[in-house]
Amino acid sequence: MQLRPYQQEALDAAITALEAGSNPVLQLATGTGKSLIIAALAEHYRASGKRVWMITHVQQLVKQNAATYERYVGVQPAIVCASLGRRDTWGGVTYGTIQSVTGMLDKLSDPNLIIIDEAHRVPHNEGEPSQYEEVLSRYPEARRVAMTATPWRMDNGVIHGTGQQFWFDTLAYRYTVPSAVADGWLCPLVGVETAIQLDVRKIPVSGDFVQSDVEAAQTEAWLKSVARSLLKLADKRQHIGVYCPTVKAATKTAALIRQITGWPVTVLHSGMSPNERQVALGDFMSGAVRVLCSVDMITTGFDFPAMDCIVCLRPTLSSSLWVQIQGRGTRLHPDKKNCLVLDYAGNLIRLGGVDMYENFYREVGLEQVDAAEPRAPHMRKERKIYPGLGKLTPVDPMTGQAAREGSSLDVEVHNVSTVAITPRGKSTAVLLVQYACTTSEGARIDASKFIDTERPTQKTLEFFLDRGLAVNLPSPAKSLTWQIKGARKPVTLTVKKQGRYWNVVEEHF
């Protein structure tokens, strides 16, 4: 197997970064062959006497990546994956799921290089226990490589940077969907924001839209309108993947599409048995079923190049999820010229097209970036400002100018999250409380404050009392995070700008 030019560039960039002592991220669009780059990188280091682990989160990706390595090298790698029935301990190159590898750390030889596929799933190193944290912290001398199409997280932001919270320190290579389409390696997407848009204004947000409430908002009348729209817009499409919020919604949607269009339809979700899931996928891929209504099953790792239509009924605030969904349609296939993306949930206007790295910075409020002019005529309009998204610069009401160092604002609170972290130089964890807010102009602000629960002050006690919580202090921060999740949250905040951050001065309930 020969690497494509951009794959060779990515491999060279990874080797250069690793030899310079970095832990790089390689960002490559879905469908551009990350598994072959992984195979070439793993073999390069194995040939030099190094032990390599390739870790990911699902057995399907382990199976696909290991098969690519075998085709590339001619030798099967070791596999550690309980669902595949493999617990090999002999390999110079080992492919495995994070769940199975974590359970066998005492039986495996220490790695020199750890490659993580779909690395946007790796939480930041902020004291919260996770299986990735257990593996990566156990082998601090091993070099690390992140492979992903979306090198950012909705909770923490970009996955690379300077500081102890980052497992990866540099973006060594980037190959986007537009570049791959222009080079002829990916199929173009045709996006349509349909006129039948779900009204999400009253749907609560807890990190993302609460999908059970999305289901309730999708009335039978609305779903029938969607089905009639599909009959017109997707009449020439043969493999239509429908992304639904819940199992109940998927079942209802499938029945209505079948009733109105007459097309064969099936449902796919994690509650089905492995055999039932295999039958549903097989029917969809063979063409026996034209429409597949899925719940969180045909995103990361789903490889079906013939899929020529994506129908999204699942609203999201997560640009990484939206990229992953659209990426299912970008693979080349002789029976399609493009993949039609029909969005009924506001994701195109909310998050944009598939190439959304710049939009991400607006999403989390790390940096204010002007909106790129949408290319398609139907998208040439102002993006709706939704809590969690914004492109306006916060304005200081005292001066009428853009907020600067020391500016104070009153902002509306939309979501509150907490995590226990151990600040640099400290021996005990504190609570980091993060608030997703908007100003009166609609600009997004992420504000934060720290609560030391082991050395409490009067303000610490007031923090819990204001939320209606009776907490015995001092207490370890980790033991308190779950109590705060369901507690009262402030309606507004007074915040002050410090550098690029906003610190909470006062909460208003």
Task: Please give the full DSSP string across 51-85, using - where no structure is assigned.
Answer: -EEEEESSHHHHHHHHHHHHHHHSSPPEEEEGGGT
In the three-class reduction of DSSP (H, G, I as helix; E, B as strand; rest coil), residue 438 is classed as strand
CATH of segment(s) 5-181: 3.40.50.300
Split at pLDDT 50, 70, 90, the class of 47 is: very high
What is the C-alpha to C-alpha distance for residues 111 and 50, in angstroms, rounded to an integer? Answer: 8
Q: Would you state the pLDDT for residue 348? A: 77
Q: How long, in residues, is the chain?
A: 509
Token reading at 301: 């790792």
Q: Is 243 helix (H, G, I), strand (E, B) or coil?
A: strand
| Residues 241 and 310 sit within 8 Å (Cβ to Cβ) | yes
Q: Which range is least confidently modeled, 152-161, 260-269, 403-412?
A: 403-412
Candidate ranges 272-276, 338-342, 361-365; pick with highest mean pLDDT = 272-276
Residue 318 main-chain phi, psi, to 5 deg: -90, 110
Quote the CA–CA distance of 449 and 431 in Å, as a whole number: 8
pTM above 0.85, yes or no: no
What is the pLDDT, as a whole number, of residue 435? Answer: 85
Classify burial at 67, counting beta carbons within 10 Å of its beta carbon; exposed 0-12, middle 13-18, buried 19 or more. Answer: middle
> What is the chain's alpha carbon radius of gyration, rounded to the nearest angstrom?
24
Q: Which amino acid is at 260?
A: I
Nearest to 6 by CA among 188, 181, 173: 173
Report yes or no: 429 and 481 within 8 Å, Cβ to Cβ: no
Q: Higher pLDDT residue, 36 or 195?
A: 36
Residue 229's alpha-carbon distances to 36, 222, 398, in angstroms, are 39, 11, 49
- pLDDT digit string, tens, across residues 371-403: 333 333 333 333 343 333 333 445 444 444 455
Residue-wise pLDDT tens digits, 17-31: 999 999 999 999 988
Q: pLDDT digit string (tens) for 424-473? A: 667 788 888 888 877 765 566 778 888 888 888 888 888 888 888 877 78
Q: CB of 203 within 8 A of CB of 315? A: yes
**Residue 156: pLDDT band with limits 50, 70, 90:** low
Is the distance from CB of 360 to CB of 175 less than 8 angstroms?
no
Residues of the chain above pLDDT 90, percent? 47
Written as six digits, the tokens of 290 are: 């034209």
pLDDT of residue 505: 86
Residues 283-328 have pLDDT tens digits of 999 999 999 999 988 887 788 999 999 999 999 888 778 888 988 9
Query: Which CATH number is 187-375 given?
Result: 3.40.50.300
Banded pLDDT at 128 (limits 50, 70, 90): low
The yes-or-no verdict on residue 358 having pLDDT over 60 is no
Average pLDDT value for residue range 249-253: 97
Question: For residue 86, what pLDDT is reported?
Answer: 95
